[in-house]
Structure 1
């Protein structure tokens, strides 16, 4: 029986009413608040922030003067290789000898050709803006998977960091590329794509070896997720990549290559230190001081190792369960949130890297990108109040933006690092 006019009228009114109710929900204070504080709403904020970052990067490139620090030196170093010099002892630029592994040569060699031998700096800036946006997207994927951090924390971090934008689009340091490859690896590991993840991780190391700061926790992850045999396979993959990348240089002068690109004993310049300005230069360059920092680094790894084992063992178990139930859920078109498993993997990796950064012999301004994107996650893994978390994050940002560094800024940076490590230690046996 066809509906009469009155029934049709009521049906239209009901549809309009439901539509208005649904639209009204998105314009309510409750929904606006959830966008800022509910990690489940992070994708909405991430899309808006990503679009804003595209605009910001364009504005920075067009309106802020480019600062020459290492770009010309990078181009000079790879130009030597382009011209046929494969002996690392003979490769140098204005800032000194080439001190990065072979991956650096290939990545910046490609940029050398793309940017007309490095002369088209504006094009290089836009390429690095692309790298920055790729990194941001990968970071957002991890934060969305873990659902640990409220969106407003990531929003504040991204919107207030002048230094990170500068590292990418105004100075074009190789640190950005190594960290980009690292986050590719982390995302692959979370998807159980271990072989590809190890390739990406090793490529990151081949651009700059600071990525090795993640290695202790990653090794534990290999063991609990893949067993002894699987761990050996992954180590062989990582080693093979290093061998392939460095082969032309190893054949020519193996000692010069290893000594030049993996020199862990290199002395940093005191004038650029961000974290040890309150020490006299004699102590800063002392081998005993460096040895003490190494001992502290290893001691902190040992202290946190038991919790990393627990987390990564649990990660492996949950991933096995996830793989078992995923086909059934796919048939029923249902979704199972596995944010806990992602948290179990990411926290040990981020913590391991943070400990290494905190115990570094020296931190230069571009090194901020080594741990910047993990700071909100680490802080929201501590038991501190949200206010204190934001204060610590703000102090760290101020320290990295103080140029030249001062006794106060260096001291405040160490206090902030200690506060985070202590907070993570307090929380390590608590429920995540």
Structure 2
């Protein structure tokens, strides 16, 4: 006769499963294991979206039409246009869509295009998990938040916006900088900038990172590399119509349409289109960056003037006393990007891809109490980006939430979280 099993035996598999799940969610040693599961799950989800959710045409046909003009020999940017308007992006955009043109049967095979963008999205998600892992300071379970954005999936595989390429290159650049592959990071950021000018939002924070790591001469060398990538990308147009190319691909004075704005719907159209409003936003943007630079990003070294004077004394090497970690690099670059988004002249729906996967990281660089308050902040931002068309409430919610997040980083951990946490512990002991 078989003796009865002890009551504890049947609970053993459940306890083991519980301990495994708990370790995956909380133990830093299992961060990449959980990330791999999230990436795999999101890859399946993305394929299901492609299979069951209808594609919506917005700009793909225009991209392809503009590319066809290029293939026919047109090199004057002012003469390259499409159904939804003229080309307003640097030439990296053209080269990417040249490759897509060949892969998708002259742009006609949308399923192939969607699969390419699905791979691009998973590459972005993988890179983001790598950034979080390198920087640290976030719980493992935070990666579960990354695949939850309905709008982000739509931007990639249901709309095929070129912002996706800029975001993927920019995140790859952040990972390279955080991993101390700075030259690679600059080349990748140059690739992002060659697709869309919005990559410049990282530049103020990047100057701080590079100056503290390489000094004045090293920073200027990286800027030279960044410029060189733009020359290389735009060469087919610069050789023939340089003025036209520079005017239309890097157009800082571009006027946006009020009907598409996501962030400023709560102001009148007259205000939105006015020059004083644009100048006010630019002034706010510059002021916020300068304030972070002077008061936060160099605080550990004794202030910005100490870093700058040290760098000028020894221009060929890093300023004395400067130590740049992966955490600092990621926090500063993400914050620089967020500040630019807060003060953007206008945000369109595809622009959410610029920072959607950075938001959980930034929320955990605040000191807002309890994870629930941070989750509410993230939910408010996701809500605002999913209201179409934008409303007074949704746009105000987005602006307030972005401002609250910037403020939270200011009063939280604007440099790096690990050393700040140790200081906080010492103060409480």
User: Which TM-score tier does this pair reach, normalised by the shorter chain?
Assistant: 0.7 to 0.9
Structure 1 partner of 2:4: none
Q: How many residues align?
A: 386
Structure 1 partner of 2:308: none
Q: 1:92 to 1:313 in 2, by over 3 A?
A: farther
- Give the alignment of 1:183-222 within 5 angstroms: 183-222=171-210
Structure 2 partner of 1:278: 266
Give the CA RMSD over aligned residues.
2.1
The answer (yes or no) to whether the contact 1:138–1:187 under 8 Å persists in 2 is: yes
2:383 pairs with 391, 398, 405, which one? 398
Equivalent-residue separation in structure 1 for 2:239 and 2:325 (angstroms): 43
1:378 and 2:362 matched: yes
Listed as ranges, the gaps of 5+ residues in structure 1 are 1-19, 315-339
The answer (yes or no) to whether the contact 2:178–2:327 under 8 Å persists in 1 is: no
Q: Deviations over 1:143-201 (max 9, x none)?
A: 1122222233321342x211101111011101110111111211221222222211111
Structure 1 partner of 2:329: 345
After TM superposition, give the deviation of residue 293 of structure 1 in Å: 0.2
Equivalent-residue separation in structure 1 for 2:160 and 2:143 (angstroms): 23
Q: 1:176 to 1:280 in 2, by over 3 A?
A: same
1:181 pairs with 148, 162, 169, which one? 169
Structure 2 partner of 1:415: 400
- Give the alignment of 1:92-131 within 5 angstroms: 92-131=81-120
1:366 and 2:350 matched: yes
Structure 2 partner of 1:268: 256
Equivalent-residue separation in structure 2 for 1:32 and 1:311 (angstroms): 38
1:140 and 2:140 matched: no
The answer (yes or no) to whether the contact 1:277–1:406 under 8 Å persists in 2 is: yes
The answer (yes or no) to whether the contact 1:395–1:416 under 8 Å persists in 2 is: yes
The answer (yes or no) to whether the contact 2:134–2:179 under 8 Å persists in 1 is: no
2:152 pairs with 129, 149, 164, which one? 164
After TM superposition, give the deviation of residue 79 of structure 1 in Å: 1.0
2:287 pairs with 275, 299, 304, which one? 299
Q: 1:39 to 1:147 in 2, by over 3 A?
A: farther
Q: Higher mean Cα deviation, 199-208 or 23-32?
A: 23-32
Match of 1:405, SS state, is coil
Q: 1:312 to 1:109 in 2, by over 3 A?
A: farther
After TM superposition, give the deviation of residue 38 of structure 1 in Å: 4.0
1:236 and 2:208 matched: no
Structure 1 partner of 2:238: 250
Q: 1:238 to 1:25 in 2, by over 3 A?
A: farther
Equivalent-residue separation in structure 1 for 2:191 and 2:97 (angstroms): 13
The answer (yes or no) to whether the contact 2:145–2:360 under 8 Å persists in 1 is: no
TM-score of the superposed pair, with normalisation by structure 1: 0.85
Q: 1:32 to 1:228 in 2, by over 3 A?
A: same
Structure 1 partner of 2:43: 54
The answer (yes or no) to whether the contact 1:89–1:257 under 8 Å persists in 2 is: yes
TM-score of the superposed pair, with normalisation by structure 2: 0.86
The answer (yes or no) to whether the contact 1:224–1:313 under 8 Å persists in 2 is: no
Structure 2 partner of 1:86: 75
